[in-house]
Structures are given as structure tokens and as C-alpha cells.
Amino acid sequence: MLKVGLTGGIGAGKSAVSRLLVSYGAVLIDADKIAREVVEPGTPGLAAVVEAFGAEVLTGTGALDRAKLGSIVFSDSDRLATLNAIVHPLVGARSAELESAAGPDDVVVHDVPLLTENGLAPLYDLVVVVDASPETQLDRLVRLRGMAESEARARMAAQATREERRAIADLVIDNDGPLEALEPQVRTVWAELTRRAAAERR
């Protein structure tokens, strides 16, 4: 099994890359998706979040109000650290469960937005970084996701810098261009991942 860490700044296009890798045969473990699952209604994770942040972070139906919680933590590094201390161990445990279910010949791609920030690179056989300029990221967040520019800038500022991400990368995918320019690069990366996986088996 080859364990790959996939990361990139918000708006860099990591989701598009992970979709392509899955289409080629990768086993995807999506930390963001798991992070949502571990705080669903009725989970110990949600109970811990409510204990730390109060019932005002819930919607009327008792689900987590992500926008409300986001507005609290993204402007306050201490509150963000509190949230991370609740969610990250739960995500780690579930990720390990999913990884253990993969086969010995699989390429397992862990899609981890905060891989750089949390110093997680040593957990993986190699790290793939999806890279885009801050201008491209901002444009995508505002134009495609409908974020206010101020919110987009705050989200970007809360993450590692482009240079910090590139410093831990074994492979970099440049995603400043259109989707049709992305696909050949991801296919090349996949060929390298399968080559390394075969070498590991040997």
C-alpha cells in the first residue's frame, strides 16, 4: 500500500484532483468529509463541540451550523485550536479505520486540507500539493463559491502559505489553468504513484 497525502490551499482545486485520482483507481480518504461525519447529530464529536462553543452553534434541527461556527473560529486562533483539538483526533481515528480496509496493492490518497499546518507530512510515503496562485484562489472563491472577498481572504490567511506547502511537496500539480490543463498533469502523477506502489511491493 502506498500512502499519499494530498493537500492544497482553499480554492486551489484539490477536489478536482482527488476526483481524477479516484477515476484512475485511487482509494480516497477525504478528511473534510470525515470531519463532517464525526460531528453529525448524535455523535460524541458534536456533543464536545457544543460543550466548547455553546448551543448557539446548532441549527434549529440540532445539526451543526457550520457558517456560525466558522465565523467564530476563523477570526480567533485560540478558538480554532479548540475546535481542531476536538475534531482532528476523531478524523485521524476514522481515517486509520478506512485505510486499514484498503488492499495491499492500493494507492491510498488522504485528502487533507490542513496537512501542512498540522505537520502531518511524515505520516505519508509522499505528499502531493495542488498549487495555484493566491490570485487564482481568490478568484475561484469569490466567483465560483460566492464568498465575500473579505471572507475568502480571511480563509486563505488562516492557512499555510504557498511557499510552506511547496516546501513539503514531493510532487506539485500546477492548477492555475483550466481543467483541461489539469488532467494530463494528474495522469502523470498517477503513473508515478502506481510506479512507486509497485516498487514498494517489490
Beta-bridge partner residues of 128: 6, 171
Residue 201 confidence (pLDDT) above 80: no
pTM summary value: 0.84
User: Minimal CA–CA distance to 182: which of 134, 130, 143, 122?
Assistant: 130
Do residues 138 and 11 make contact, with C-beta atoms less than 8 angstroms apart?
Answer: yes
The H or E element spanning position 2 is strand 2-8
Which domains, and CATH codes, for the chain?
A: 1-26+106-202 (3.40.50.300), 33-104 (no CATH)
Neighbours of 60 (CB within 10 A): 6
Residue 75 has what pLDDT? 80
Q: Give tens-digit pLDDT for 59-90.
A: 999 999 998 998 899 888 899 999 999 998 99
Which helix (H) or strand (E) is 29 found in, with range?
Answer: strand 27-30
Nearest to 32 by CA among 93, 96, 87: 87
Query: 20: left (phi > 0), else alpha (psi -120 to 50), else beta?
Result: alpha
The per-residue pLDDT of the chain, averaged, comes to 93
| Predicted confidence band of residue 200 (pLDDT cuts 50, 70, 90) | confident
